[in-house]
Amino acid sequence: MALPRRRAAEVGLVDEAGSTVLRVRAQDAFGTAAITLDRDAGVVSWRWKVDRVLDAARLGTKEGDDFAARVYVSFEIPPEDMTLAERTRLEFARLLYGDVPAAAICYVWDNRAARGTSLWSPWAERVRIVVLRNAGDAGKWVDERRDVGADFREAFGRAAPRMSGIAAGSDTDQTHETVTTWFGDFRVDAK
């Protein structure tokens, strides 16, 4: 998946030590691979690796909102659970950008922030960014396991609706840097 008016990252499947994994190479670009779901919020696990972190990234700012790696878990909030203003903003965003989720948790590999740092996206009011990794972990495969229902409840203050998708990718269009990221072994399990 690419964004309108943004350079697309190179996204493809490659062999990595005998396993097929997703590789995303972003050079002043944005790109993800996504899958749609319709499942209860459960436990999402995966492994990932970055060749480096982004020097110029600045968590929480529009001009520095880039990450070596991102994993989005999106949720579809029923329209009756949103205000008229929220529904209108979401419909407008979908007209401009396509399939925009009603809400998402965005797990990231940041350059500076401590693991566990959590804040709202500077671009979207219903996207919660959670830092899972930072510079100390670059260059090696790392396993993740997240109870996305619990993470949603902590971020949004309510029970998680059904998951509507998972996307994995890299983003360097603000910082104009280059990074290569690998993702593998995605799994969704009941809690």
Domains and CATH numbers, the chain: 10-189 (2.60.120)
Given this model, what pLDDT does residue 101 score? 80
At 95, phi and psi to the nearest 5? Answer: -65, -40
Query: b vs e for 106-130, b when ≥16 Cβ sit within 10 Å of the residue's Cβ?
Result: bbbbbbebeeebeeeebebebbbbb
Given this model, what pLDDT does residue 2 score? 46
DSSP states of 125-164: TTEEEEEEE-GGGTTS-EEEEEEHHHHHHHHHSS----EE
Task: Split the chain (191 residues) into runs of 10 and give each run's mean pLDDT.
Answer: 68 95 95 94 97 94 93 90 82 76 93 94 89 93 97 94 95 95 96 79
From 19, 123, 138, 145, select the one nearest 63 (Cα to Cα): 123
From 114, 111, 109, 37, select the one nearest 71 (Cα to Cα): 109
d(CA 72, CA 1): 12
Given this model, what pLDDT does residue 71 score? 98
